Structure 1
Amino acid sequence: MKYKLLAIDIDGTLLNSSSQLTPNTAAAVQKAQERGIKVVLATGRRLGNSLALAKELNVRELMVVHNGVVVVDPVTCQPVIQSGICPVLAGELVDKLNAWSVNYVVYTGESAGEKVLAPSGRWQEPDNLLAYFLGEAAEFVDEIEISSPPVRLAIIDQPAKVDPLYTTLKRDYAQQVSALLFGAERDDWRGIELLPAHCSKGAGVALVADRLGISPAESVAIGDNINDLEMILWAGLGIAMQNGSPLLKEQAKMIAPSNDEDGVARIIEELLL
């Protein structure tokens, strides 16, 4: 099979465990593009903290950000497709998160989810996680008002708070939002992302491939975490990183070397060049 599209997750896949793009991986991605392979970055990040990487790699294909909620043109920085959570539902969720006293942020629908709101008086513990995840992106407000469909909500707090909340959200809102648990391997924090129902990286990459006239059978997808599952199941060749989640590795058709062993570069060299 001659593959025409390569979808790559960023954190834990394209980048090593120090969040660095190694020269070997950068060179391999460039070579793939020179051979005509369409490279699609698919990430849970927002555009603002993934665009520099796209520019460094000279990736010009549509990018899948916010775990598939937004598909954006990295050249113009304009969204091509953007979904959102119903404002009434989002307001209800915010009220519940306030009642549960958990750390959370709202990625608004403005500027493809670049505007991020956080409730004042939160996020002191544990370990200033807001700065860790968002840098200077969040704006603290006394009251979060939902006037347009937000791209997603994210909860990050201690496992003792987050784990039972995840169970509750999956039970009560399964038909309305997609709840993704992350940081499950950590014992100091845990996170939940709430996305519009039916949004995923897989759906986003499928849309990009369709616009390019490329079939799933002609596509390779590489990821490391559970939010990459739909993407690797969609692709003709779905690959999990050796450092990835056990569930993802169970579902993948191939296991790549870890992100600290230039796993993406080695897959490109072995299969695409």
Structure 2
Amino acid sequence: MIKLIASDLDGTLIGSDFRFRPRTLQALHAAANAGVRIVFVTGRPLRWMEPVLAQLGQEWNGENSFAFCSNGAVTYDIARSQAVATRTMSGSEVQALHTDLEEAFPGALYIAETLEHVYVQGTYEPHVQEDTSKMVKGPLSQILAPRAEVVKYLLFQGGAVPSNLLAQVQEVVGERASATRSAPYQPLVEVAQRGLNKGRVLADFAQSLGIAPDEVAAFGDMPNDFEMLDWAGHGYVMASGLPELKDRVGRICPGFEEDGVAQTIERMLTEREGRQA
């Protein structure tokens, strides 16, 4: 029986307009009200979450839900409206990585995010949901303090092939940190604490609640979702997801435009009710 549902957001639960589709929202409410824990596991930083979570409405069963932001670097308690845990890199660790990556990718855009600030080196067009008041611009070697607690460090190399860029960054970074990508066709790589990924954070969270992998359903569409989908007993790639992820995971649910997550949750709830009858 499914006790926990973990899902990516962009491309999985919300579309390019950053909104939930009505059927998906209804299915999430039904699952939460049935006592299933809901966790949103996303590459989005915490500062982009308020417009998304606001769509859940005041009737949302927040006691059963959390958001793991920045690929798991930040745990956000939805009921308490606050970050309750972080998994960070120090500014000095990021500076060491930055020195090597800047040599390999001169002229790239570099961003280091903390909960308080966004440090930007290079030409950057703010996201539509960006809080620009938190932005600090300049060479990271000068503006990022050694003791800063960095939740995510990003590299954008215009014109690069996304999959190739990821492989190249991983080669430079080595075992010092984790590197992945979550934007389907953008040459953007996200670097985080060594060993950190969505699957590790989800596994730790489930274990703390006594929930086994076969009691977890997970949904995603991009490479940064792989470890989560691989760990969950019921891990689904969206049919609209990246082909390479579908090949790796194998279990597919209908795409975003078909309300694939909603369809799967509805089926799971029906099966759950049948077992409880």
Q: Give TM class, smaller chain.
A: 0.7 to 0.9
The letter for the 1-side match of 2:223 is: I
The answer to whether the 8 Å contact 1:105/1:116 transfers is yes
The answer to whether the 8 Å contact 1:83/1:151 transfers is yes
The letter for the 2-side match of 1:210 is: Q
Match of 2:71 among 64, 67, 73: 67
| Residue matched to 2:42 | 43
Q: When the two structures are superposed, what TM-score results if normalisation uses the length of structure 2?
A: 0.84
Identity of aligned residues (%): 29
Residues 216-243 of structure 1: per-residue CA shift (max 9 Å, x gap): 1100001111111010111010000001
- 2:174 is paired with a residue of what secondary structure? coil
Match of 2:211 among 209, 214, 220: 214
Q: Distance in 2 between matches of 1:114 and 1:77?
A: 16
Q: Distance in 2 between matches of 1:140 and 1:114?
A: 10
Q: CA deviation at 1:95?
A: 3.5
1:229 equivalent in alignment to 2:231 = no
Q: CA deviation at 1:69?
A: 1.3
| Residue matched to 2:111 | 105
| Residue matched to 1:203 | 200
- 1:153 is paired with a residue of what secondary structure? strand
> Judging changes above 3 Å, is the alpha-carbon distance between structure 1 residues 212 and 71 closer, same or farther for their aligned structure 2 residues?
same
Q: RMSD of aligned C-alpha atoms?
A: 2.4
| Residue matched to 1:181 | 181
Q: Distance in 2 between matches of 1:35 and 1:239?
A: 21
Q: Distance in 1 between matches of 2:159 and 2:128?
A: 17
Q: Distance in 2 between matches of 1:139 and 1:49?
A: 14
Residues 1-273 of structure 1 correspond to what in structure 2 (within 5 A)? 2-57=1-56, 58=60, 60=62, 61-99=65-103, 100-108=106-114, 113-119=115-121, 122-123=122-123, 128=125, 130-131=126-127, 134=130, 136=132, 138-142=134-138, 143-146=142-145, 147-160=147-160, 166-183=166-183, 186=185, 189-273=186-270
The answer to whether the 8 Å contact 1:9/1:43 transfers is yes
Q: When the two structures are superposed, what TM-score results if normalisation uses the length of structure 1?
A: 0.85
Q: Distance in 2 between matches of 1:18 and 1:165?
A: 27
- 1:174 is paired with a residue of what secondary structure? helix
Q: Distance in 2 between matches of 1:218 and 1:257?
A: 21
| Residue matched to 2:275 | none
- 2:235 is paired with a residue of what secondary structure? strand
Residues 92-116 of structure 1: per-residue CA shift (max 9 Å, x gap): 23344555121121112xxxx3521
Q: Which runs of 5+ in 2 are unaligned?
A: 271-277
The answer to whether the 8 Å contact 1:116/1:137 transfers is no
Q: Distance in 2 between matches of 1:162 and 1:144?
A: 28
The letter for the 2-side match of 1:31 is: A
Q: CA deviation at 1:182?
A: 4.2
Q: CA deviation at 1:133?
A: 7.5
Q: Distance in 2 between matches of 1:202 and 1:96?
A: 27
Q: CA deviation at 1:138?
A: 4.8
> Judging changes above 3 Å, is the alpha-carbon distance between structure 1 residues 118 and 31 closer, same or farther for their aligned structure 2 residues?
same
> Judging changes above 3 Å, is the alpha-carbon distance between structure 1 residues 102 and 260 closer, same or farther for their aligned structure 2 residues?
same
Q: Distance in 2 between matches of 1:137 and 1:229?
A: 34
The answer to whether the 8 Å contact 1:12/1:259 transfers is yes
Residues 220-269 of structure 1: per-residue CA shift (max 9 Å, x gap): 00111111101011101000000111222123352111111111111111
> Judging changes above 3 Å, is the alpha-carbon distance between structure 1 residues 217 and 166 closer, same or farther for their aligned structure 2 residues?
closer
Q: Distance in 1 between matches of 2:61 and 2:155?
A: 31
Larger RCO: 1 or 2 (CA < 8 Å, sep 6+)? 1
Moved more, 256-265 or 72-81: 72-81
The answer to whether the 8 Å contact 1:177/1:195 transfers is yes
